[in-house]
Structure formats: C-alpha cells, structure tokens
Chain A
C-alpha cells in the first residue's frame, strides 16, 4: 500500500512537472536527459553555469579537447600544435575539410576572430577570460594557421576550453552583452545543433550529421527540466527520460535492481573540504575577518584534522559513494593526484595530547569554541556538520554549527568571518586552476576586492613551487612539483580535504545500450571534459517504452478522485457553516 501510495504521488508529480508522454518508438531516436540547473545564457562568451557550458561544448568545438579514454589532449578544431623553443609562441594548425553546420568551412580566421574578440571586448571575457589573460596577440597568417603569442610561458595552452564561434555569424553581433544566441538552428561546429530552447521547460538539439568526427548514432538530444532531482529520478524509473546525473546516494540506491535502469558510479572531479581559517590576511598582510586566532597555530589545525574520522564520514554521510580525501587534486586525475606515504590517522587521543602540548588545556571540558559554517539545504553540510561537531567535542573543542544560505556562506568565506566552513571545488584535467586558488596572489587587495582565494592560504614554499610548475614543460618534473605542493598543503592544513564524491548517474539500459565514460576507467557520462558521453551514446536495437502512459493515467485518476472528494467535503462543510452564520 505504501509503495503504491508513493508511486501515485510520484506519478502525479512527474505528470505535473513534465507533462509529457514517452516518445513513440517510430519517431526519431531521441536521448532525453534530465536537467535541474538553470541555463544562464546560450551565448558561449557569457555562459558560466556548468549546465550552459556543457551545452556550449555540444554546439561548438574548442581548439583542442581531451580524449575520452585517458584525457590526453587530442584534436578538435586544431589538429596540430607546436610551441616555439622559448615557449612564448604557439602555432596551431586548423586542417581543411571541417565545416560549420551551415556548410561554410572552419578556418584559422574563425579561431583568431574568437580570441581577438575576447582580447578586445571585456564582455567577451566574462566566461573564459582567464584563458586569454596571458595572451599578447592572436593572428591567422593563412587559412590553416593560428599563431598565439603569450606574455609569459603558459603550460595550459592545450587546455583552452573556449568555444570557437563562426566569424561569418558573430562578426555582425554588435551588442554582445544582450545577444542570446538563439537564432535557431544555431550555426555551430560541434556534434549537435541547438534547435529550440524554452527556459524552464526543455532544450532541444539535433545531431550534426556532417560532424567531422562522424555523425552521432541517434537523431535528437533533448534536455528536460525538472524542479528537483527526486522528480527526475522517478521519471527515469518510469522511462520518461533516459539519463540522470548528480543523484544523492539514497536516490542511487533506490534505483538498484529497477528493470531497464543501469547505474554508473563514477569517480568524480569534485571534492568536499573543511576550510580552517589559518588567520586570513589581505595582499598587504593585514589580518582581516574575525577568525579565531588559535587557528593560526599549525599544531591546532593539524589536531583538528586528526580528530575527524574521514572514514566514517565516507561510510555514513556519503553511504560509501566517495573516497577518503588527501591531496587537493582528486584521484580521478591519476597523474597529478598525491597520496601521502602515511595518511594522517584518525586519533582523538593524539589530537588531545597535541592540543595540550600546544598550550590549550581543558577548562570545564572545553579548550576553545569555533564556529562551523555550512550551507543549509546542502545534504552533505547538514549531515557532516553533526559528525564533525561530535568529533571536535571529543577532543575538547566546542563547535557552534551555523547552517546558512548560499549568499551568507559566500559572504562569510570571502570576508574571512569563519573559523571552520564547508566548501568544495571541481578540479580540471590540468591542475593549474585548483592549485592556483591557494596562492598568496589570490588573496583580496586592501580594498577587499579581487582574488578568489579558497582558503586564505599564503605560504612561501607553496608559492615558489606553484611558480615553478607553471613554467615547467617537462611533464614528469611538473608532476613532481604538483605533488610536492599538495604535500605542503596537507601538512599546513589550511583546509581538510574530506572526501572525493562519486558522480552518481543512471540511464535507461533498455533504450541506450552504451555511453562512453571519461576516463575509460570509472569515468562519468555527463559533466565530462568533452562531450563523449552524449556524442558516443549507442541506442539499443529494440527501443521501446512502456509504463509511463499507465502511470500518467493513474495519476490523472488520483487527482480527479482527490478533487472530487475535497469538493464534496467543502460543499458539506459550507452547508454546515451556513446554518451557523448570522
């Protein structure tokens, strides 16, 4: 009875949220993907949200991209690239034969146009400005050659995740800031062409049959909006959509054994961390914020890290769908991930002894109090805060949990008005970005603006290593430098990396037999560094759909019955009160 009741609710919910009936098998083969996050813009120069950049990648190829199996740099718009001996000039070759979706050839002029637009127009730098910050000039001496000169050597030249747009369409755009890029079908170079977009309802793309790598194996790709991931998961279970990601562990578990549903537990690019305010300073070295000064003592920070049981956090908060945290580069990037020779063991007794030795004795059961901030409504923060509070209490530190809104948390971490705070980042294939977040230069200026420091970490040794790795073109040596940086970070504890979350995805195995994951070993389908998951999806031979219609019919019936019953009740109630009314 309970299951039926819940399924009724689910049916009603799914019905009201999507209002759609599964496609008939005879029509075009369509991959329907659930989307929860809104789209900020279809204009690739303005799109910042993860959802919009992902759709931008489907529409436009970048200069180079990352391979599906091992994430090495491979051909996209450019087929070859060559740095000069002084590493200041890069020459990219755009081979002939690649075409925009309107049939015009893709040439080096399009590439030069895109980058020059970003160099000359500040609005065009909104989304991807950091990639060209170090550029001196971009020229196209002939149809097939792009020459980029940089001010200083830059190792990320083959990681330029900037969509290349067609010059013949975009040169006439005068008001870039308000250009929505929704003249359907939108001319692009990627494996899919944007054909329709209704905010909050759906995004429709069709396969680019002339894509240079070969046409996708199905006809249309639809993104369907859902208000929350619970509704999306229910829709997947009923076969209304084909692919869902970013599921909560409980949702992922609930799909186990569901007929026709395949699950993908992937190693994610994200990690959860607990920031430990190390005595925040701005660029000119003045202390800012109101972090508890005891945390400036590295012995205290180490003791805090020692008192948190990371294993039980992974087991109980993430229900096992995570890996224990160590370095700031997640293990999915095997090359750059650092693993300590001996992990800092969970040891409350040692933490207590260390705090005693550091000169913070117990007084009435507590040594000192710290504020622990997190985002309310975020499942991880709400749950992990309870564990960390008890763990800290065990070593004599009183944690006052404050779960606040997104904005309030952002304000507190930016103004350094926190002691401990939950945070999290997604890392890229190239570790430069995630490492750069913790350099002294990322701290805000004396006026409080600029910089995007994550932890207010400022360490001479770390910064020296960062500068070295940025201009180190020998991969083995760079890997060594990156690992030494993570070791220093782990030792100084400006934040405790708690766990690397698994990316939990599920798809209809009865409609699509295979999705390429990136990397091949335990990778993701959605939110890749590329579009292999969508591009390489293989439809199952006998595509069929069932169950959805009957669910909707039952849903309508239930709604009708409810309306009827409440109508009768209200009518009776009115008659009763009519007599009482004066």
Chain B
C-alpha cells in the first residue's frame, strides 16, 4: 500500500511542478483564490442593513465617487457591495451545476463505453439527442416550468450541458478498455464492477477533473445568461441577477455604466480564471500539449 501512496505522491508533486511552470495557470489559480475569499468574506464584511432596500440612505443612481466607489444602483445600494455579495451565488451555482453535469456525463460515458451492444447504443442516442437540442432553449424551458430558485438553475444547466463530457469520457473509456491489462483483468475473472472501479475510473479521472474545471466556466456563463433573461431567482443576488436588474430598471437609458460593467467584468474574470486553470491542468495530464 505504501508503495502505491509513494508513487501517487511523487506523481502529484511532479504534476504540481508542471502546473506551476505555466504562469497563466498560476495566475488563474490566484484569481480563483481571491474570488473564493471574497465569496466567503463578502457577506461577513457587509453590514446587515447595507443591502436592505428599506434602510439604505444613499440616493439612487449615484456615479462612482467617495463613499460609493462603484456608485449606487436604482435603490441607492452600493454596487461594489452588491458585486461582492453576488460572487458567492455565481460561484456556487457554477460549481454545483458543473459537478452535476460532469457526474451525469461521466456516468453515461463510462456506462456506454464499458457495456457494448444495445444499452450503449441507446445511451449514445440519448446523448446525441441532448447534444443537438439547443442548450439555452432547453434550459429556458426547464427553468420556466420548475419553481424558481438556485436549485432549478443548477438543474437546468446540469441537465443540458452533460453530453460533451459523456462523449469525451466514452472515448477515453473505449481507449482504456482496449489496453492489454484490462483484457488480462477480464481473463482473470474481473467483473464489470472490478474493471470499472479499478481500471477505468482511475484512468478517466484526470480527464474528468479537467472537464469539470472547464465546465464550471461555462456554467457560470449559463447561470448569468439565465438570470439576465429573468429566469433566475431574483431574490438571490448573483452577477447575472445584477445585470438583469440593471437592464430592467433602466441602467442603459440612465447611462449608468457603473451598474453594468462591474458584474460583467466579474463574470469575465472568474470564467477566465477557471479556463486558465483548466488549460494548465490539461497540459499536465496530456504531455502532448507541452511545447
């Protein structure tokens, strides 16, 4: 056992070295760290009444200046505080939706790669169906039917974005199962569970990890899109909800750029950070990508 652990620790260490060798990946990781800190600390640093519309005292639509360094929204709340407090919801939805989508995708991918024959065909046709259905339209339909809430958004994104993962995981599963040592395991009497748990999953896992990181980025964008379109839960503050409110309450007519820009930049920064980390991880597990 200790040999295995020793080997894993060495692999992890060399992987980390590979990762840190890429400056963009490290930059992404730093941004992520800051975002997590903000998401956790933001609500603690904000006073109880600062975001309560009935208790704010500042005037509405104040441009950035002393006191409100990112201006105020239509009710007089500080945009800076709103953006800080929206980080958590955006990240939470992005992470859980990505986890859900990758979980479904991995399950379907491994199952259809491992079990050949009609079950695999059936699973792949289902995957193909979800692949060609316009994702946004399906997500909109789902969030229109289900009750409003963060859970619905997570479900809507998760249920619509898994086919790509399923395809990738299936390909990897097929490649792994074609290797001689898997054949040997079969010959020695290894059942489905043994082969999947001991050989396929460990080989697929790094790929899934990278996929998750990249899926988080697209889930954050999806969440913002749905919230912007008014399909989110307006009672929960997220960056998409902020953009929705800015549009709904006339920030464009008001030329209130300070209400539109910060949440937009926040989304951009977080998505970029996840993408950079994902790309760097991809390079670590796939030596062919190294220059």
Contacts and interface: CB of A to CB of B under 8 A. Distances in A.
A233 B253 contact: yes
A20 interface: no
B255 A3 contact: yes
A402 B255 contact: no
Given A376-B231, A405-B144, A253 B254 contact: yes
B2 interface: no
A402 B236 CA distance: 11
B238 to A, nearest CB: 14
A251 B251 CA distance: 8
A29 B204 CA distance: 72
Given A390-B54, A403-B233, A2 B249 contact: no
B79 to A, nearest CB: 14
B147 A316 contact: no
B61 A386 contact: no
Contacts of B289: 580
Given A6-B255, A6-B257, A376-B230, A383 B75 contact: yes
A234 interface: yes
Interface in B224-280: 230-231, 233-235, 245, 247-255, 257
B234 A251 contact: no
A404 B146 CA distance: 9
B11 interface: no
Interface string B44-55: 000000001111
Contact of A316 (B53, B235, B252, B257): B53
Which bracket fits the contact residues of B?
20 to 34
Find the residue from A9, A309, A405 having the highest chain B CB count within 10 A.
A405
Given A250-B74, A316-B53, A382-B245, A234 B234 contact: no
A405 to B, nearest CB: 5
A307 B252 CA distance: 34
Contacts of A254: 250, 253-255
Contacts of B288: 582
A316 B148 contact: no
A309 B54 contact: yes
A403 B147 CA distance: 9
B54 A387 contact: yes
B249 A248 contact: yes
Interface in A210-254: 230, 233-234, 248-251, 253-254
Contacts of A520: none
Given A376-B231, A405-B144, A230 B252 contact: yes
A260 interface: no
B122 interface: no
A1 to B, nearest CB: 9
Contact of B252 (A6, A309, A383, A404): A6
A75 to B, nearest CB: 41
Contacts of B34: none
A4 B33 CA distance: 36
20 contacts: A2-B257, A6-B252, A6-B257, A10-B252, A230-B250, A230-B252, A250-B253, A316-B75, A382-B248, A383-B75, A383-B249, A387-B54, A390-B53, A401-B235, A402-B147, A402-B148, A403-B235, A404-B147, A404-B148, A582-B288
Given A376-B231, A386-B53, 16 more contacts: A10-B252, A230-B252, A248-B249, A248-B253, A250-B250, A250-B253, A253-B254, A254-B254, A254-B255, A255-B253, A377-B248, A383-B53, A383-B75, A387-B54, A390-B52, A402-B148
